[in-house]
Amino acid sequence: MVVTIIVFILVFSVVVISHELGHFLIAKLNGIKVLEFAVGMGPSIVKFTKGGTRYVLRLLPIGGACMFEGEDGTYSSDEHEGAFNEANVWARIATVFAGPFFNIILAYLLALIVVGFSGVTIPVIGSLTEGYPAQEAGLQAGDVITRIDGERIYLQGEVTFVSALSRGETIEIEYKRNGERYKTMLTPKFSEEDNRYYIGFTIGEYMECKGIKLVTYSAYEVRYWLKTTIKSLLMLVQGRLSANDLSGPVGIAVTIDETIDEVKPYGLPTVVLTMINFAVLLSVNLGVMNLLPLPALDGGRLLFMLIEVVRGKPVSPEKEGMVHFIGFVCLMILMVFVFYNDLTRIF
């Protein structure tokens, strides 16, 4: 468990630092004064001041903050020099957007490591199951899936994701065989035993990635996690997933622990690569979640700034502050709920 805690802190800290570093660097580039750069929440463990910015490491490694001059209406001096609220609106938009964007950059850099060492699994059909739709639709072993319902497919995981979430709707599959492209329609078949729908094939062929393939397939990996994150959020809104499917820091720590136990027999390099891949997923999730147009999140702040662009003047700071405060309270309530859910799943 000690190893799990250390890995959790490392993974979460790297993702959070990347996010806050995005805010920090773009703020500095735009002349916005950064009062505090903090990693973690709760009481401070280590802190020091340099260049007018206070750097803080806090006890709980589950968040972070980049606080700007004048952001909350208070100022460190009478001159208001470098105040966030007085910067150009596009400078503020760039500063806020930079946090989630840096999470995507981090995810890509980490994906380069994972793909470079372990390659990727491309969507090549291995075998077909007798009596299932894939065989009946004429698909054969060796066919390469290129599109599903018009959406481009590059990785095995994308096909698996579609299959796992299927509710039996007819889908269009485009595939390549001997250099020729074909299309077919099929309807996944329900399995009473597994209580889910199946297309009826095994899929996946290992491919080593070097040079340009490494660059492109690392991007496809990040694209895959972006797609699954966004689609999962849509399914939550549609009611296909429930709030019970959400996981917080405790749930993430448990997942890390289970994953380490699962891959440990394959050696330390495999454990390290698996954790780096987990960091890719976590970084993409943090980036996407922060861009949701909800109060207290980066997306909520961006929404107010875009309203300012349209109106030609900012929303009243008092009104915006109240909205963000209410959003923050709701976010804290959600975090408590998710924390409770994580604990009930464990015990």
Whether 192 is catalytic is no
Cβ-count burial of 272 within 10 angstroms (0-12 exposed, 13-18 middle, 19+ buried)? Answer: middle
* Strands 144-148 and 151-152, sheet pairing: antiparallel
Q: What is the DSSP string of 263-278?
A: HGGG-HHHHHHHHHHH
The residue from 20, 158, 174, 221 that is catalytic is 20
Single-letter residue type at 227: K
Whole-angstrom Cα Rg for the chain? 23
Give dist(CA 224, CA 108) in Å, integer.
Answer: 11
Where b means 16+ CB within 10 Å and e means fewer, 29-42 reads: ebebbbbebbbbee
Residues in CB range of 223: below 8 A, 6 or more apart: 154
User: Of 44, 5, 18, nearest to 249 (Cα)?
Assistant: 5
Residue 169 neighbours by CB distance under 10 Å: 9
User: Of 191, 186, 192, nearest to 174 (Cα)?
Assistant: 186
Q: What are phi and psi of 164, to 5 degrees?
A: -65, -30
Strand ranges (E), 69-213? 120-128, 144-148, 151-152, 171-177, 180-186, 189-191, 196-198, 201-207
User: Of 131, 121, 139, nearest to 182 (Cα)?
Assistant: 139
Residue 182 neighbours by CB distance under 10 Å: 14
Single-letter residue type at 242: S
Q: Annotated active-site positions, please?
A: 20
